[in-house]
Structure 1
Amino acid sequence: MNSDERIYSNFSRLSLLAKKGRGLSWRPPYSKISPLSGLQKSSQRGRGLDFVELRHYFDGDDVRCIDWRVTQRTGQAFIRLYAEEKDKSTALLIDLRSSMFFASDGMMKSVLASELAAIIAGRIQVEGDRIGALLLTDINIESHSAMRGEKSLLSLLEKITQLGGRLPAKAATEPPTLDDALYLLCQQKIKESQIFIISDFIDFDNSTSLALITQLAKHNNIIGLRVSDPLEEELPNSAVLMGDGQLQLEVSGDKGQLRQRYNQHTADHNKQLERCFLSIGQPYLALTTHQDSWQQLVAISSARRR
């Protein structure tokens, strides 16, 4: 496999980003609190609750959770995490289909999606919440059971690395769609959870996809993260040759009308997607392959706090 981290994400890189994600502070642009909120919550709500894990103290953690015995014995601050059975879970829908294996420069869309998922999962894990995921590929939709703790997080990162490393993949006769993954989420009947949809939304349908997201939003919070490459947004004025490993398309420099139609179609699709999320009161974020994943989320975090 190519060792270039812009083409394929690796486990070490995702693990590092997950650790950095623990310190991410983000106040979402809506009233409900998400796992990325800057408002820290205490995972210890009283006696008789299930013990989740013992971990290092990080800035922003509730000092009431510090285990002073372990801290005194080790010389480092540790906290104990407890959780009730009804704690809020988080579901990640990560698109790793062949359409995500694209970049004109910077990193592949699949790499950006993987890194965003790692950062978000790291932030969730430090809260002590359960993390589940659906990984959409050209072959099937793989699931990661919602569980808490470091072991579950590392298992998810390994699965993301493996599936992303198979791109580009030979699609099934009827490859799964974004709607298939959304429908599967609806079938799971999850409630009071945070759902992150990380995709290029290339096959988002204004009727069926919106209906499924609306159904999910009735009982959950949803954040849509669209990953894209600048070349997809607007074709350059110069000649362009694009391919998917099997077919090629050449757009010559004098095809101004074709270029204009393409740019308008893309702009309309993106506006419709944004309006769909706004219509149900759920946030929608656009991220690009030409910028670092961590820096983009930090910039969003800073903007939301202003």
Structure 2
Amino acid sequence: MPTLAELVALRAQVRRAPQPRRGRHGVHGPAPSSLRGRGMEYAESREYTIGDDVRRMDWRLTARSGRAHTKLFQAERERLTLLVADTDPALYFGTRVRFKSVQAARAGAVAVWSALQSGDRIAALRGGEPAIPPATGMRGAMRVLDALARWYARPPGDQSGLDMALEHAQRLLRPGAQVVVLADPVAASRVPPVRWTALARHHQATLVLLQDPLETAPPRRELAFRAGARRLQLGLDNATVRLRWKQALVAPAEELVRTLPSLGWQVRCLSTDAEAADWLAPRDASLRDEDRVDAAVVD
């Protein structure tokens, strides 16, 4: 299980990792940020999507391009970083270095320390209980780290599902926030596309998918598994069995990596044997994600 001391120690990894550009007035107090939201300073224009404020239409660009565009502005306030923790039972499993649940807590801790370094307010939630309310500084960071250590210590008995947690997040967030979702790929694949679209429309959205090497690259031999009181034998040297394994455990992550970026999400795959901060650096992480998906394809 993850410990609070372990999550606190991950602050050192974030200090070494590349950080997003900050507001020009520093990280304390209200400042123009790199996040596109509702503010006073114009940032850019993009094509209009349903739900955008029509009062912010970019009429000149709309006339030139023939397609409706809306203006985006710099968010002149402290940004909120919200962690959404999937606590699906499938996460409490692992074969290499640590359980996926422990890696989820570690990835969440990295998000916390990164948010603290950027001067954000920090909050967290999971399905089945009230959210950890937003707070700044070490007070906000430690409250969320404590929640992560509790949530990922053991499978909860009142898990209400990732979709409900994302619905809760959608109600809480105001435009301009950052949302980081920690999830099992199979659980994430069950979330309707409309939920992903709604969250990414006005927020910086990142999905961190937790994977175990046994899931992505199983050995070509027979393996024994225990399901409750039953003992199962899977012949993973058989092409049909490997194909079914891929469809059940690999394909969901591949589909999310393929489809969610077009809906506005950054998708990062994080293995249980990787560094917890590996998902932070967008360029390097993207290359690793592609390599991991390629390696996960089963013959």
The verdict on a shared fold, with TM-score over 0.5 as the criterion, is yes
Partner of 1:13 in structure 2? 6
**Structure 1 SS opposite 2:151:** helix
Partner of 1:200 in structure 2? 184
Partner Cα separation in structure 2 for residue 98 and residue 153 of structure 1:
26
Partner Cα separation in structure 2 for residue 135 and residue 187 of structure 1:
13
Letter in 2 for 1:147: A
Would the aligned equivalents of 1:105 and 1:290 in 2 still touch at CA under 8 Å? yes
Using the TM superposition, give the Cα deviation of residue 19 of structure 1 relative to its aligned residue in structure 2, in angstroms. Answer: 4.5
| Structure 1, gaps ≥5 residues long | 1-7, 27-36, 48-83
Partner Cα separation in structure 2 for residue 283 and residue 197 of structure 1:
10
Partner of 2:269 in structure 1? 286
Give the one of 103, 117, 134 matched to 1:146.
Answer: 134
- Offset from partner CA, 1:154-208 (integer Å, 9 cap, x none): 121112112222x145x44xx41111111111122422101111111312346x5
| Cα pair distance change 1:239/1:127, threshold 3 Å | same
Using the TM superposition, give the Cα deviation of residue 121 of structure 1 relative to its aligned residue in structure 2, in angstroms. Answer: 0.5
Would the aligned equivalents of 1:95 and 1:110 in 2 still touch at CA under 8 Å? no
| Cα pair distance change 1:125/1:299, threshold 3 Å | closer
Using the TM superposition, give the Cα deviation of residue 247 of structure 1 relative to its aligned residue in structure 2, in angstroms. Answer: 5.1
1:219 aligns with 2:193: no
Partner of 2:292 in structure 1? none
Partner of 2:54 in structure 1? none
- Offset from partner CA, 1:87-108 (integer Å, 9 cap, x none): 2111111223321111112111
Partner of 1:24 in structure 2? 17
Partner Cα separation in structure 2 for residue 277 and residue 160 of structure 1:
25
1:162 aligns with 2:150: yes
1:124 aligns with 2:115: yes
The TM-score, its normalising length taken from structure 2, stands at: 0.71
Letter in 2 for 1:183: E
Partner of 2:70 in structure 1? none
Partner Cα separation in structure 2 for residue 161 and residue 45 of structure 1:
29
Partner of 2:90 in structure 1? 99
**Structure 2 SS opposite 1:202:** helix
Give the one of 123, 129, 135 matched to 2:126.
Answer: 135
Partner of 1:230 in structure 2? 213
Using the TM superposition, give the Cα deviation of residue 264 of structure 1 relative to its aligned residue in structure 2, in angstroms. Answer: 3.9
**Structure 2 SS opposite 1:203:** helix
User: Percent of aligned pairs with the same residue?
Assistant: 21
Partner Cα separation in structure 2 for residue 301 and residue 39 of structure 1:
18
Would the aligned equivalents of 2:218 and 2:236 in 1 still touch at CA under 8 Å? no
1:179 aligns with 2:179: no
Partner of 1:54 in structure 2? none
| Cα pair distance change 1:20/1:142, threshold 3 Å | farther
1:262 aligns with 2:255: no
Give the one of 103, 106, 125 matched to 1:112.
Answer: 103
Partner Cα separation in structure 1 for residue 30 and residue 218 of structure 2:
57
1:242 aligns with 2:202: no
Would the aligned equivalents of 2:88 and 2:161 in 1 still touch at CA under 8 Å? no
More helix by share: 2
Partner Cα separation in structure 2 for residue 273 and residue 168 of structure 1:
24
Partner of 2:256 in structure 1? 273
Partner of 1:68 in structure 2? none
| Cα pair distance change 1:118/1:247, threshold 3 Å | farther
Using the TM superposition, give the Cα deviation of residue 215 of structure 1 relative to its aligned residue in structure 2, in angstroms. Answer: 0.6
**Structure 1 SS opposite 2:106:** helix
| Cα pair distance change 1:178/1:124, threshold 3 Å | same
Using the TM superposition, give the Cα deviation of residue 235 of structure 1 relative to its aligned residue in structure 2, in angstroms. Answer: 3.1
| Cα pair distance change 1:142/1:21, threshold 3 Å | farther
Would the aligned equivalents of 2:208 and 2:269 in 1 still touch at CA under 8 Å? yes
